[in-house]
Chains A and B, each alone.
Chain A
Amino acid sequence: MPKKYHIPIKTAAPRYNPIGKYATVEFREDCAGSCKECVKKKCVYGIFGENYTHASTMSEPEYLYTCMSCFRCVQECTKGIFSRVINPEYRTLGDDYWRPDIINSLWYQAHTGKVPVSGAGYRGPFVAAGFDSMWTDMSEIVRPTRDGIHGREYINTCFEISRRATPLKFNADMSLASEVPSILEVPIPLLFQLPATLILNEQVLLSAAKAARILGTFMLIRPQDHKVLSAYADNLIPCLSCENYMEHKEVILKSRVVELADAPDIEKTITEIRAIKPDSFIIIGIPLDETAASRALELSHAHVDTLHFYADEHGKELNTEDPAFLKEMIREIHLKLVDNFVRQKINLVFSGGIAMAEHMAKAIICGADGVIVDLPLLIALECQLCYNCRNGLPCPAKIDHHIHPEWGSQRIVNLIGAWHNQLIEVMGAMGMREARRLRGEVGRSMWFEDLEMESFGPIFGKRKISGIN
C-alpha cells in the first residue's frame, strides 16, 4: 500500500478579527447599570469577555464579531437592551458569486484546517444556479469503500497532468511497442494560480509557492516571478506565450511543466519547447469560450499533456453575452473528447469560479481531471474581495504589507487540507476510492432537471418555467 497522502494542518490564527455575520448591539441608555444578572457575564461563548474596555473609556463598543447567534443575551437581559443586526461589514464581502458565507467559510478553513460543520440541517435555497443545481449521489447498495476520513481504506485523490499513449501497441513478442510518456502525478486534483489582477507581491507568491510544495501540487506563475520563487522551482508552472517563450529559456529548463497560451500554429512552439527541454510537460491555456470544445479536440492531437480552460472569476464562459456556466462547459468539452475517442490521451483542468470544495468534486464529476484554485488562495490570506487594490486603494487586510510566508503558506495548506478532507467525505459517500474514477462519472450525481422530470413530471406534467426559477 502506498504511503498515505497527508496534509500537515496546524492552526494559523487570523491577523484581524474575521468579519462575522452577526453583530450584537446594545442600547445602553436603558441599561440598569449594575445588574447582577447581566447577560454579558453569562454568555456561553464568552464573547463579551474582551469587550469591557469600551465601558471604562466611555467609547462605543466594538461589534462583537464572534457572536454565535444564540439570542440568549437578547432574550434574557432584564431590560431588553440587546438586539442583533447583520454586521454591515459582512454585507460588503465579495459579490453575488463569492458570497459572504463562502468567504467566511474559507477563512474558517484557512484558520483551522477543519471541515466546516454545523447542526440543524441545510439552510440554503432548494436549488440555485451553477454547481448548486446538482447533487452528488451515494448508494446504499454499491459500497466499495465508505469509511471517509475516519476509515481504514485509502481513498486516492491523485490526478495526472501528463499525457497518455492510447492505444498501447505491442510487438509480436508482446513487448511494449508504444513509447509511453513519463507520468506526472499530483496527489490532489487541484493546481494553484494567484489572480494577476489582485495583490501579487513577493510574500503572497512565496506563501502560495511554499504551500504548493508542501501539498505536492503546482502553481502557475508569470515567468517574471520565477526568480523570486526559484527555491520552489519544482512546483512551478511558468505561463508563457508563443511570443515570449524564447526570452525564458532558463525558466523552461528549470521547470518540469510549462503552460503555453493558445495561439494559431502553436504546434511549432510546442516542438521548439520540447527541443529546449525534451521531458517538459506542456499545458495549453485556452479561454473558455464557444470554440473551447472544438479547440480541445484539435489540440488533443498535438503532443501536449493538459489543457487548461479559464473562465471568468464567476465560472462563466468568456466572450459572449449569454455565457454558460463552468459546469455545462466542462460537460461539453469532456463529451466532445469522449465522442472522438481521445479523452484518455489528455487531461483537462479548469479555472475560474472554483470557490468551495464541492466545486472541485462536482467539476470532476462533470468531466474535469482537476481544477485550478485562484481567489481562495488570497482569501486564505484574509482577502475580503473588496477589490480596492484594483482601484489603487489600500487593502483592508493589509495583504499589500508584509505577510510572513510561514503563516501564509500554513493558511493555504489548512484551506486545502480542509478541501481534501471534504473531497474524501463526498467520495467516501459515493463509494469512490479514486478521484480519477470520478472523472465524468455523472452516474454518481443527480441533476435538478432530471430529478424534476423523473419525480415531478408524472405528477405535474410539463414544467412551464425553464431554468432554476
Chain B
Amino acid sequence: MSNKKNNFQFPKIVRTPDRFRNAIGKYTIRRNSRCISCGLCAELCPYGVHPRYDNYSKPLRPLDHKCIGFKCKENDFFCIDRCPEQALTLRRNPILETLGDYRWTADMLIGHWEMAETGNLPVVDLEYSLGNSGGGFDKIRFKTPEPGDYLNLSDEDMDTSVNLNKRFDGRPEKIIAIPCYGGGMSYGSTALPVMVARAHAATLLNTLTCTGEGGYPQELRPYSEHVITQIATGLFGVREETILYAPMVEFKYAQGAKPGLGGHLLGDKVTPEVAAMRETVVGNALFSPFPFHSVYSVEDHKKHVDWVKEINPEVLVSVKVSTPTDVDMVAVGSYYAGAHVVHLDGSYGGTGAAPDIAKKNIAMPIEYAIPKVHKFLEDEGVREKVCLIASGGIRNAMDVAKAIALGADGVVIGTAELVALECVRCGHCESGRGCARGIATTDHELGVMIAQDWATQRIVNMYMAWRKQWCEILRQYGLKSIKELMGRSDLLVHLDYLDEEERSKYQPAPQAELII
C-alpha cells in the first residue's frame, strides 16, 4: 500500500548506533603521535569520523566505520591531506579479510549494519547488493531501464504492499506494507528481547513475524496482530489460544537449512523458561521429527489445514515447504488443500544450527524453485489465487526484488534481520552458551545483552533503507506497485546467458578469492 491509501504511516527512522565500542567499517583511520589536537579534522569531516568534545582536549580515536574512504580524496575536507601534521593515515580495514563469506560478503554485512544504523543506503562504497557466490542472485541483474519509463513519484506514493490472502474465501485480507515478513525463529533459539523486538518492528512496519517452533511467549501478545504462529512437527508450545491469537498460522513441513531433517535444539539452550514454554525437561535436547507423523498425503495435509481453520475462522494458513525436485507439485497440492500462502524455503538459507552437509547438499537453491513453481501454478491456472512467498538465501533488497521478478509475491527474511542486530555470521549459534553477541542465545547473561528498543529500531531502519531501493527499482521501470513487478522475469538478465558484449554492460559478478 502507499502510505496515503489507508492512513498507515511508515515508522520514523531514528539513528541507532552500533552497541559495541569499536564498530567495524570498511576503512580504518589511524592517528599517530604527531597529532597536536588542533581539531581541524573534526571541523572538516561532515561524516563525524573525528569526534571531539569541547571540554576534552585530547584527540579521541576516530569513528572510522563512518569514513567514506579513498573516494573522499576528491573533497576539500579530506582529512588525510588537510591534516597539518600529517598525523592521519587511511587504509582498507585488514580485518575485512576475516569477515563474511561467499554469500554474505564483508561489504554486505557492513552495508547492512550501516542501513540498520541510519535507515538510509550506505554512503560508503560498499557492494551490499551482490555477494560473491558466483551464481543465482549474484549473477542476475535487472536490465538497463529505458530512461523514458522513469516514474517521477516520491517514495510515499509508491506501493510496496502485498496481499497474503488471494483466495477470496471469506477470510480477511491481510495486506502487509512491505514485501517481506520475518522468518520463524523460536523461543529458545533466539534471545527473548530479539524475538519481541522483531514482533515490535513487524508491527511498526505493518508486516508479520513468526514465532518459530518454540511456543508463544506472553511478551508477544501486544503484537499478536503481527505474529504468525508456527505449527511444526514437534508441536512445541502449540495451543488452541496461540492459534486464536494469530492472523496467520504457518505449517512448517520442512526448512531449507535442513530439509528432511527436522529441528534440533541443543540441551544447553533448554533453560527452565524454554522448557516451561515447550513443556519439556530442562537441559534435554529437543528434536522436531521429520516429517509430521500425521501427514503422509495431501489429504492428510488438508485435514491439518481444516483443523486450524476450524479453530480460528479468521486465520490465514501458510504452508512452509522446502525445495525438492517436486516442489511444484507440493505447491499445487498445498493450494488445493486450502493454503493461502505457499512458502518455499530454499536450501542456502536458515538462521539456526544445521548440519553442514544438509545446508550445502540437500534440496535446490531458491533461485531455481521460484520460477519453477510460479510457472507451474500459472499452468495450473491457480497462480492468481495463491500467494507465493520465498525464503532461504534472500539477503538484501535487490535479492527481494529479483525473487519477486522471478515469480514470488513476497519473501521471508531471517538472517538479514539478525545482521541488522550485528550478527557477524560466525556460525556458532549452537555452541556452548550460544551466540556470543547475544542474538541467538538463552543464556542468562548473553540473552539480555540486547535492548529491545534498540533492536526494534535497527530492524525498522534496515527495512526502511530496503524500501528506498525497491521504490527506485519500481520508478526506473515505470511501475507504481511492487505487485506489478511480480513475475516480470523479462526485466531480468543472467550474466551467464548473455553474449560477452552484452555482458560487459552489466556489473560483473564479484569474484574475490575467499578462504572458507
Please report A residues at the B interface, Cβ cutoff 8 Å.
21-22, 44-45, 68-72, 74-78, 80, 83-86, 90-91, 99-101, 105, 115-127, 132, 135-141, 143, 146-148, 150-151, 356-358, 361-362, 422, 425-426, 428-431, 446, 451-452, 454-456, 458-465, 469
Contact = CB atoms under 8 A, between A and B. Distances in A.
7 contacts: A101-B515, A124-B360, A138-B362, A141-B297, A146-B289, A454-B368, A465-B495
B133 A150 contact: no
B355 A44 contact: no
Contacts of A119: 350-354, 427-430, 435, 440
Contacts of B99: 71
Taking residues whose C-beta sits less than 8 angstroms from the other chain, chain B's interface range is: 35 or more
Contact of B324 (A84, A137, A463, A465): A137
Given A68-B426, A84-B98, A122-B393, A429 B259 contact: yes
B20 A122 contact: no
B257 interface: yes
A248 to B, nearest CB: 40
Contacts of A71: 24, 99, 424, 426, 437
Contact of A72 (B325, B369, B436): B436
B492 interface: yes
Contacts of B418: 120
B359 interface: yes
A425 B515 contact: no
Given A80-B21, A126-B134, A426-B362, 16 more contacts: A70-B436, A75-B18, A83-B95, A84-B95, A116-B356, A118-B354, A121-B392, A122-B347, A124-B133, A126-B102, A137-B362, A140-B322, A362-B361, A428-B260, A459-B489, A465-B496
B497 A117 contact: no
Contact of B287 (A115, A140, A150): A150
A445 B466 CA distance: 36
Given A44-B432, A122-B360, A75 B496 contact: no
A75 B63 CA distance: 12
A455 B415 contact: no
A270 B135 CA distance: 50
Interface of B: 18, 20-24, 61, 94-95, 97-99, 101-104, 132-136, 138-139, 253-254, 257, 259-262, 264, 287, 289-291, 296-297, 321-322, 324-327, 329-330, 333, 347-365, 367-369, 371-372, 375, 392-393, 406, 415, 418, 423-433, 435-437, 440, 446, 489, 492-500, 503, 515-516
Contacts of A74: 22, 24, 95
A22 B430 CA distance: 19
Contacts of A148: 260-262, 290
Contacts of A143: 291, 296
B21 A118 contact: no
Contacts of B503: 464
A228 to B, nearest CB: 36
Contacts of B135: 125-127
A39 to B, nearest CB: 10
B362 A135 contact: yes
A311 B133 CA distance: 28
Contact of B326 (A135, A139, A461): A139
Given A75-B24, A136-B362, A117 B393 contact: no
Given A358-B361, A456-B497, A83 B94 contact: yes
Given A117-B430, A120-B423, A124-B101, A426 B358 contact: yes
A126 B131 CA distance: 10
Nearest to A444: B325
A358 B260 CA distance: 16
A358 B291 CA distance: 22
Contacts of A469: 134
Contacts of B427: 118-120, 123
Contacts, number: 278
B360 to A, nearest CB: 5
Given A83-B94, A122-B393, A455 B367 contact: yes
A44 B261 contact: no
Contacts of A451: 364, 368
Contact of B351 (A105, A120, A141, A358): A120
Nearest to A23: B98
List the 6 closest A-B pairs by CB distance, nearest first: A126-B135, A429-B260, A119-B429, A123-B101, A70-B436, A75-B20
Nearest to A430: B260
A120 B24 CA distance: 20
B497 A463 contact: yes
Contact of A146 (B24, B291, B393, B424): B291
Q: Considering residues A72, A74, A91, A118, which has the most beta carbons from chain B within 10 angstroms of its beta carbon?
A: A118
Contact of A100 (B98, B489, B496, B515): B515
B45 to A, nearest CB: 19
B167 to A, nearest CB: 21
Nearest to A21: B515
B353 A117 contact: yes
A99 to B, nearest CB: 7
Nearest to B495: A465
A456 B325 contact: no
A123 B432 contact: no
Contacts of B353: 117-119
Given A86-B98, A150-B289, A464 B515 contact: no
Contacts of B18: 75
A151 B112 CA distance: 40
B443 to A, nearest CB: 9
A83 B361 CA distance: 34
Contacts of A90: 515
A450 B415 CA distance: 29
Contacts of B494: 456, 459-460
A426 B133 contact: no
Contacts of B352: 119
A127 B429 CA distance: 25
B24 A428 contact: no
Contact of A455 (B350, B371, B500, B515): B371
A452 B296 CA distance: 30
A455 B359 contact: no
B393 to A, nearest CB: 7
Contacts of A463: 496-497
Contacts of A458: 371, 375
Contact of A460 (B362, B424, B493, B516): B493
Given A125-B134, A140-B326, A141-B330, A135 B516 contact: no
Contacts of B393: 121-122
Nearest to A460: B497
Contacts of A430: 260, 362
Contacts of B364: 135, 446, 451
B261 A120 contact: no
A8 B350 CA distance: 31
Contacts of A72: 20, 436-437
Given A45-B432, A138-B260, A123 B326 contact: no
Nearest to A139: B324
B355 A75 contact: no
A72 B435 CA distance: 11
A454 B372 CA distance: 8
